[in-house]
Amino acid sequence: MAAASPWDAASAPNAAGLLLGHFVASGIVTQEMLNISKKSAPCFVNFSRLQHITNMQAEINEKNLEIELLKLEKDTADIVHPSFLAQKCQTLQSMNNHLEAVLKEKRSLRQRLLKPMCQEHLPIEASYHSYLVHLLQLAVTFIERLETHLETIRNIPHLDENVKKMSKALAEMDILVSKTEELAENILKWREQQKEVSSCIPKILAEENFPHQQDATTPPLPLTSKVNVQNVNAK
Q: How confident is the model at residue 229 (pLDDT cuts 50, 70, 90)?
A: very low
Helix axes 106-114, 82-104, angle to 10 degrees: 60
| DSSP 3-state of 167 | helix
> How many residues does this entry show for the chain?
235
- Run of H or E including 55: helix 42-75
Give yes or no for a contact between 232 and 193, defined as CB atoms under 8 angstroms apart: yes
pLDDT of 141-178, one tens digit each?
988 888 888 888 887 777 788 788 888 999 999 999 99
Q: Which residues contact 77 (CB under 8 A, 6 or more apart)?
A: 84
The per-residue pLDDT for range 32-80, each reduced to its tens digit, is: 776 766 655 565 667 778 888 889 999 999 999 999 988 887 777 666 6
**Phi, psi at 216, each rounded to 5°:** -65, -35
* Cβ 215 vs Cβ 232: under 8 Å: no
pTM of the model: 0.24
46 contacts 37 by C-beta, under 8 angstroms: no
Residue 222: per-residue pLDDT: 45
Between 155 and 195, name the one with better pLDDT: 195
